[in-house]
Each structure stands twice: as C-alpha cells, then as structure tokens.
Amino acid sequence: MEIRLSSNLLVTFFLLQLIQLCAASEYTRPSPRQLIFRAHNRSDSEPQQVHVSLAGKDYMRVSWITSDKHVKSIVEYGKSPGKYESSATGERTSYHYFLYSSGEIHHVKIGPLEPSTTYYYRCGGAGPEFSFRTPPSTFPIEFAVVGDLGQTEWTASTLEHVGVKDYDVFLLPGDLSYADSQQPLWDSFGRLVEPYASTRPWMVTEGNHEIESFPIIYPRGFKAYNARWVMPHQESGSKSNLYYSFDVVGTHIIMLGSYTDFDSDSDQYKWLQADLANVDRKKTPWVVVLLHAPWYNSNQAHRGEGESMRQAMEEVLYKARVDVIFAGHVHSYERFTRVFDNNADPCGPVYITIGDGGNREGLAMNFENPSPSISVYREPSFGHGWLTVYNNTHAQWSWHRNNETNAIIADEVWLESLSSSTLCGQATTPSKSLNDEL
C-alpha cells in the first residue's frame, strides 16, 4: 500500500516544528529552506528506498522496502548490466509505530565482492536495475562526510554537490531523516537519498532525531532507525546497531553512539576497548571516529551536551592515537586543532563538527567570542566535507561551503597519521606542545 502524508500528520509535524523553534531561542537561525517530501511512484512490488552499506570484508548489505509483503528478500547481481551471475537471500522485518505500519524492510548481504568494481543488481527478483561501486583495496580512498542531513532543499543541494564527485564511502555522524516520530518522513528520506545511497556505501550512526522514544510504549527508542539502517555491528562484535566499526583501505572507522550508555560499566565502553585492542596500525594506520554530540564546541548551540561522554571515553581514544573525530548535532562547521583534555596536544585527535548537511532547523549562528585558542576555523554555513587518505602517513581534509550552484572550499588541512609520528608512537600521557603539521 502506498504511504502518504495525511493532513493530520502534516498539522502535527508543523506544530512540532513551531514548538522546537520557540525552544531554540538561545541562538538565532536564518530561515531554513523548504521541506522536500518524496512520494512513492513505483508499484507495490518494486523496491524503493534502496541503499547499500559495508558488511564485513568484501561484503555489502543491500537494503530496500516494498509495500508488497510477498516479495522475496533476494538480490541478483553481476558485473555487466542485466547479467546477474550471482544471487543471495537475506531477511526481512517490519515495524509499527502508533498508527503507522512500515512496508517490508529487506536486508541482504552479498559477496564476496572484488574491490574497485561496479556491480549491477536487482532487488526482489524484479523492478529497476541499480549499480554500486566497491571501495578500492589500496590507497587512495575518499570519504564524503555529511552530518545532520535532513530532507530540505539544502539537503538536495548538499547531495547534488556530493554526487558529482567520484568518492568511495559516505559517512554520516547522525541525524538522518528528521522524521521526529512522523514515520512517513522516514520513507520520504529513503526515496530522496536512494540515487546516492544505492551507488556508494552509506555508513551512518544515530543522532538525537533518531531516538523517537515514547514513555511506556516505546521506551528504548530507535525503532525506525534500527529497522531501516542496519549497520555491521554484528560483524564488528557489537551487541547494538548504535555502535560498531569497520575497516576500509588502511582506515579503521569507529561509529559511537551518543545516545546509548557510554560510561565505563557500559557495553559500549567495553566494546570500544576491545575493538581498539584489536586494531593493527600496520594494517590500518588511520583510525577515525564518528559520533553525534560534539565533545568540543564553541558554538552557543548544544553547549556541553557531549561533555559526559568526553569525560568517559576521551582518554581511551587518546591512548589509542585516534587521528580524527567527526561530530554533528551543532548546525554549523568547526574544526579544532589536535586536542586532549581541553588543551592543544600534538598526539590528540583533530576534532571536526560538521552538522551542516541541510537540516530543517536552520543554522546555529552564534559562536562564543573570543574564539578559543584550540578552535582553528568555524563558520555557520551549510556544507559537506571530503577526507582523502592518500597513503599510510598523509591525508587531506577539506570543507566545502554550499554556495548555490558551486561548492566553495572554505577550509582545508593536511593531516599526518599519528601512527607515523615519532613523537606520538609510544606516548600514553598528554603532551603540551603542538606539531607544525596536524
């Protein structure tokens, strides 16, 4: 059955926006662009909201939704258009949220796959053909990094800018659809991102807008997120879809959950320790972390919301010599130097807030003045970033401001991996001086 927004849902949605706007009086935001709603325009048996994600070494997970509950969870795939030499079957699920009932949500793991190869695939045994390209097996590798994406005209602008570049993996540090319990907006978001998420692996972690909890009825939250966006948590030894890790081309990427337990007695903390203990920096010289609520932030929005998580986990990541930590949540861009415990430290991670993908709430305009000495660049504009890892020792980060038809490079920096640093190789305690090169 086709899912559409009812008038009651629209009224409720806009009332929620009004309430949230009034609550955000501590800082001023410009007028956001219009919400985009993508309706279902295929038959009930055809796949919609198709996206792919990495699912262990040489494997990908294909996910999609059908209105028809009788469609098989099968993916046929091959290296030539229309020629499917292989197939795999998977699993399906569905969920209810108050009066909303989802379609059949299919997840199929395919592989083993060859690197740097385009595969053509079909979902459910019928319907349109899609294609994706697998990541390379050797450097260089390029990551698109976008936070707080949403589904507005700004979102469409961001995706168009990202889509014209030949990148390898898409990273999203939380706040995907901004459905905020309005479940048809999850469907709309899936259709909006399908042209991009079906062609490159999208690796995401949850933000506060994915929680969607309700006392007594849905106390745990994340019902839609966990059903729709299955990430490789089992493949990385995690008990929860809210935190996991994966390897791709010399880079170990850790997705942490800002909205699940993270203290030293938590499953997430214990998993993180075990995960980092298994990292071999000769095989993955780069370690990158994504989470939602930033640990360092000089914007007046969401001040201190990541502090308790920072106090719990920062030293663990510092001792592991994590190279970069990306966050979202704050709707602006900010890059910090290498930091540990609120001080510049050449052996700490570079912290980057990139919560400016296109959310419906607008931008967080107000930063504290004067700027903290550890904050290198900050700007309240919509945009996206590129992390290009060239080899074992060097990578380049650039942030691009969305400027109508052009994506302007506003900030960029070269990074040296801490695994290659003679100063930081054996360090286990904070240092007090900065390297010339980040």
Torsions phi, psi of 315, nearest 5? -65, -35
**CA 97 to chain CA mean position, Å:** 24
Tokens of residue 290, six digits: 């994504």
Alpha helices in 240-306 (DSSP H): 267-277
CA distance 65 to 57: 25
38 CB contacts (<8 Å, ≥6 apart)? 151, 188, 189, 191, 192
Is 252 annotated as catalytic?
no
Pairing of strands 286-290, 251-255: parallel
Write down how long the chain is: 438
Burial class (CB in 10 A: 0-12, 13-18, 19+), 29: middle
Identify the active-site residue in 40, 106, 292, 302.
Answer: 302
Beta-ladder partners of 246: 253
102 CB contacts (<8 Å, ≥6 apart)? 65, 94, 95, 96, 183, 224, 227
Ranges assigned E (strand) in 17-175: 48-54, 60-66, 74-78, 86-89, 91-93, 96-97, 100-101, 104-110, 118-123, 129-133, 141-145, 169-172
CA 60 to each of CA 227, 232, 237: distance values in angstroms, whole numbers, following the listed order: 17, 10, 17
CB contact at 8 A, 52 and 61: yes
Residue with tokens 């949540």: 329
Which residue from 335, 404, 421 is spatially nearest to 145, judged by alpha carbons? 335
3-class DSSP state for residue 68? coil
3-class DSSP state for residue 302? coil
CA 94 to each of CA 41, 104, 107, 228: distance values in angstroms, whole numbers, following the listed order: 20, 5, 11, 9
CA 306 to each of CA 96, 294, 309, 335: distance values in angstroms, whole numbers, following the listed order: 31, 5, 5, 16
| Residues belonging to the active site | 302
